[in-house]
Amino acid sequence: MSGSPFGKWKLLAIVFTTGVLADQATKFLAVERLTTAFERVDARTPGEKLEAFWRLKYLEPLARPPYHVFRSWWRMNYVENPNAAFSFGAFVPSDVRYPLFVAVSFLAMGFVAYYYRRLGARQRFLQVALAFVLAGTVGNLIDRLIRRYVIDFIEWYWWNRPDLRWPTFNIADSLLVVGIAMLLVHPAPKAPASPGSKGEPGNKRAASGV
């Protein structure tokens, strides 16, 4: 941590925990507000609803009509997605898809852990980016391990055309996209110059005596 007033592991814990909790809390609200599942099992107290949230599966037949946040371009709609973020990977055979996506999730977590350890204490931009990727990966992995699909509910579409829309997504997908985008736009650190490369390229002939 090298004297940093706010250690990188503490930052990871805060961003990761906040991201996963926000993802699961909004998925809980999606089941509560966008389906009739809790009413069907007479879950009324917070404890009963939470137990039903983890236990009940395949609720699309119980979905309510979409809720329009801004009718022209944004609505909330309950969807169960067996694919990767933004429905990517639909071309993968169904018997391969689940173990493949679970394996990819664990590989992504390993990637984040490996590179996060190598970051300096003051590389905050990359720390936050990797924390976002980790939170998004784990948020959707929790769904896959419990339900074998991911709960999506955010739909953005072209002006008054719900048939022309971006694939339905969730908070974990958003964290993944933002984190990966941050990694892509961050400038790569410059490699240190080797001892014999200080001179101008045009001086090589003079230095060699040729």
pLDDT of residue 162: 86
Query: Does the annotation count 95 as an active-site position?
Result: no
> pLDDT averaged over the chain?
87
Catalytic residue among 95, 143, 152, 163: 152
pLDDT in tens, 110-147: 999 999 999 999 899 999 999 999 999 999 999 999 99
Does pLDDT of 191 surpass 70?
no
Report, as an integer, the average pLDDT of 190-201.
Answer: 51
pLDDT of residue 187: 62
pLDDT of residue 95: 74
pLDDT of residue 194: 53
> H helices within the chain, ranges in order?
8-34, 37-40, 46-55, 94-118, 124-147, 171-185, 204-208
Does pLDDT of 204 surpass 60?
no
pLDDT of residue 52: 98
Each domain of the chain, given as residue ranges in start order, spans: 8-186
Does pLDDT of 46 surpass 90?
yes
pLDDT of residue 6: 77
Is 170 in contact with 151 (CB distance < 8 Å)?
A: yes
Query: Does the annotation count 152 as an active-site position?
Result: yes
Catalytic residue among 42, 95, 143, 173: 173
Is 81 in contact with 152 (CB distance < 8 Å)?
A: yes
- Percent with pLDDT over 90 in the chain: 72
Does pLDDT of 210 surpass 50?
no
pLDDT in tens, 151-183: 999 999 999 898 898 999 999 999 999 999 999
CB atoms < 10 A from the CB of 1, how many?
Answer: 10
Task: Return the closest-CA partner of residue 167 out of 90, 67, 55.
Answer: 90
Is 113 in contact with 8 (CB distance < 8 Å)?
A: no
Coil/strand/helix, residue 153: strand
Q: Sign of the C-alpha dihedral, residues 141, 23, 168, 177?
A: negative
pLDDT of residue 86: 60
The pTM (predicted TM-score) of the whole model is: 0.83
Pairwise CA distance, residues 194 & 43, whole Å: 67
More confident residue, 3 or 67: 67
pLDDT of residue 39: 97
